[in-house]
Structure 1
């Protein structure tokens, strides 16, 4: 059952894969989907072949889901997974319930293979808000209904809890999972970078008059030379005239990632030169107290000047951001914001070549080096010597049942036995 507002957005109807598995594809933005599986797993007393078939079908279906899509598996698994979160890190949370049975171990192995997490055990809450089914004979409450998501999507889950007051005409309690889906948009790769015109220069009267004169000249030349007055020709000429006039009058903005250190490079280099001169003078005569004091004063002045330069740069940037905000210049505001955050760099780990003499830095050479390394690693024929195998510590040999001494014979052979055996 789903809301009526979601029905028109469905690309396909729910699909029944077997009498125990049904799936539903909900479309999201950017060609992504969220796939919901509703399942009913075999019970503990079911035939092992039936259990294997169920988990094989579920494994096959989850493998077909694209990596960018989200998966939510919910239903009655008829399995108790316990609370040994240390042995099943990333699969079980720290707030499990009860102990684990055979079905639970099968389920945990499936979770580990598919990189899934049980959201019921992630959040800390009372056991009455986690257990979903009461055993009819022992009257003990157990957790056998689960909501599963991919391990990387656990941050989407706010909480998963039982609704004890919901009446569903069943001996199982209703489980509700609240999520806030975080979608990661696919980056555009291989696109041609766009050049940006320096439109901010139009605020200058000189630049604006030059742009208007160039544009008017180009429009007048076309009106006198060309006799074609079709709309397509006129639009193409107007477009080209505006672009060419903008390039001549405004020019394109250059990409720059500079901060206060880069913009004050000459001043900083002069401070460093004075510091090095004072340091060399101090090293030439270490016992001179005057030179040592002069070196310390130079270092202090350099540090004070650097902080002053940095403070002035930040104050200028904040004033520019505030001015852009007040005047409605959104482009200038986001440029200032980008300058404050700084450029984003993609780290690349260099590798040494096979001979250990050349440092590889480009991506193609690094990939080729890794390929060469693994081909050498897995193609080498290795011979294991018998002496090495014999040096491995052997496990103690167990007694066979027909040769093991009985308990009566062991007690009789003991010196401290006093005939108390009946």
Structure 2
């Protein structure tokens, strides 16, 4: 089964619950399990230069009939495995410039936007219990995938990083002070190292919400709650992220909640000095 999926829908149209969906996954013939989506904001008409990107890990299913509903939508498989992918709405398919499957934990998609094209990377990092070698391999692949994205694109990485990011305040503006956790986990430090080396920002720790809307994962015991799914964007376009919040009402019976990021694509207004043109000289006055 896929462990991370990105769902992409039209930005500036009303929602259509009957829209045809095309799946792009990094593995074949397997359901998409960890999802990132770009939604149309619950039927509200967004501005032409605004998008909504959502990510959710739906591999950890809680409900009794959750797996059967997922199979009905995405197809049947007897093999359980990791995998990441994107689900693209029919009206947005023509705007997909490229899809790049990297492995069972990484995939990238490039979408044509109004000003800057957008490169989304869907990621599913290893848990804390995995060996350091496995974690190093994942971040090496993530680095190569990020570097392959066109230089001038808006680059965003979304997904399940299995990383608790603290609000310790020693990492500067790369990490916000509104995280659910006070201290970083080892995976959180790895994510911060990746972000700091590329001048990126963990936007999911930048916005104030009620504590009930901060956790992204609920343990099977229904008691432990962690913020381990994140939205990361390059620092140049960090101000384009208008909000990141948890949507608890998504009916996927997963241990992970849906994470939504509102992103505005815009050009920076560059101030230019007004240049005065010099008038034509009167040569006759110089001769006199």
Structure 1, unaligned runs of 5 or more: 187-254, 259-422
Higher Cα Rg: structure 1 or 2? 1
Q: Higher relative contact order by CA 8 Å / sep ≥ 6: 1 or 2?
A: 2
Shift of 1:256: 2.9
Shift of 1:134: 2.0
Structure 2 equivalent of residue 144 of structure 1: 228
Structure 2 equivalent of residue 18 of structure 1: 103
Structure 2 equivalent of residue 103 of structure 1: 187
Structure 2, unaligned runs of 5 or more: 1-86, 271-275, 280-288
| Counterparts in 2 of 1:179 and 1:48: CA distance versus 1, 3 Å | same
Shift of 1:105: 0.9
1:22-421 paired onto structure 2 within 5 Å: 22-29=107-114, 32-84=116-168, 86-98=169-181, 99-137=183-221, 139-183=223-267, 256=277
Query: 1:89-117: CA deviations, max 9, x gaps?
Result: 12111211113111111111111111111
3-state SS, counterpart of residue 81 of structure 1: coil
3-state SS, counterpart of residue 177 of structure 1: strand
Aligned pair count reads 188
Query: 1:145-167: CA deviations, max 9, x gaps?
Result: 01111112121111000011111
Structure 1 equivalent of residue 91 of structure 2: 5
3-state SS, counterpart of residue 91 of structure 2: coil
Decide whether the 8 Å contact of 1:90 with 1:151 is kept in 2.
no
**Bigger strand share:** 2
3-state SS, counterpart of residue 97 of structure 1: coil
How far apart, in 2, do the equivalents of 1:163 and 1:20 lie?
A: 23
**TM-score, with structure 2 as normaliser:** 0.61
**TM-score, with structure 1 as normaliser:** 0.42
How far apart, in 1, do the equivalents of 2:109 and 2:194 lie?
A: 21
Shift of 1:29: 4.4
**Bigger helix share:** 1
| Counterparts in 2 of 1:119 and 1:89: CA distance versus 1, 3 Å | same
Shift of 1:138: 8.1
TM-align CA RMSD: 2.3
